[in-house]
Amino acid sequence: DGGITQSPKYLFRKEGQNVTLSCEQNLNHDAMYWYRQDPGQGLRLIYYSQIVNDFQKGDIAEGYSVSREKKESFPLTVTSAQKNPTAFYLCASRNRDRGNSNQPQHFGDGTRLSIL
């Protein structure tokens, strides 16, 4: 089945440690996104990529890094510079618009990151 796979489902980070969250899609979508979701807050955009080897910062990019070496993969690294990393992280992808349509983003099932 086509879809977006995020792994791991749960992740624990020690102080001073970088961790990488995986996001893979087999939908052949061009654009991919990373969001952070905190209790009582809406989804906030961390980074997005509209094409391979290109990505842009979102509203809360500080303390995070990404790469887009392959169309199907968009890993997110949470660095030690991110002082409050505990959150639910969601990856999404989107197909290219056709005609007047505005294609929706489709989401994976998230990774919950906690600090040890």
Partner 1 sequence: EDQVTQSPEALRLQEGESSSLNCSYTVSGLRGLFWYRQDPGKGPEFLFTLYSAGEEKEKERLKATLTKKESFLHITAPKPEDSATYLCAVHVNQAGTALIFGKGTTLSVSS
Binding residues vs partner 1 (CB under 8 A)? 4, 6, 31, 33, 35, 40-45, 48, 50, 56, 58, 90, 92, 94, 100-102, 104-110, 112
Of 19 and 92, nearer to partner 1 (C-beta) is 92
| Residue 103 CB, nearest approach to partner 1 (Å) | 8
Complex with partner 1: residue 53 or 101, whichever CB lies closer: 101
Distance CA 69, CA 99 (A): 28
Of 50 and 80, which CB lies nearer to partner 1 in the complex structure?
50
Tell me the two tokens of residue 101.
């349509």
| DSSP of 74-91 | --EEE-TT-S---EEEEE
Query: Biggest alpha carbon distance in the chain?
Result: 48
**11 or 31: CB nearest partner 1:** 31
Cα–Cα distance measured from residue 45 to residue 67, given in angstroms and rounded to the nearest whole number: 16
Q: How far is the CB of 15 from partner 1 (least distance, A)?
A: 26
Rounded least distance, CB 31 to partner 1, Å: 5
Picking from 4, 6, 16, the residue whose alpha carbon sits closest to that of residue 105 is: 4
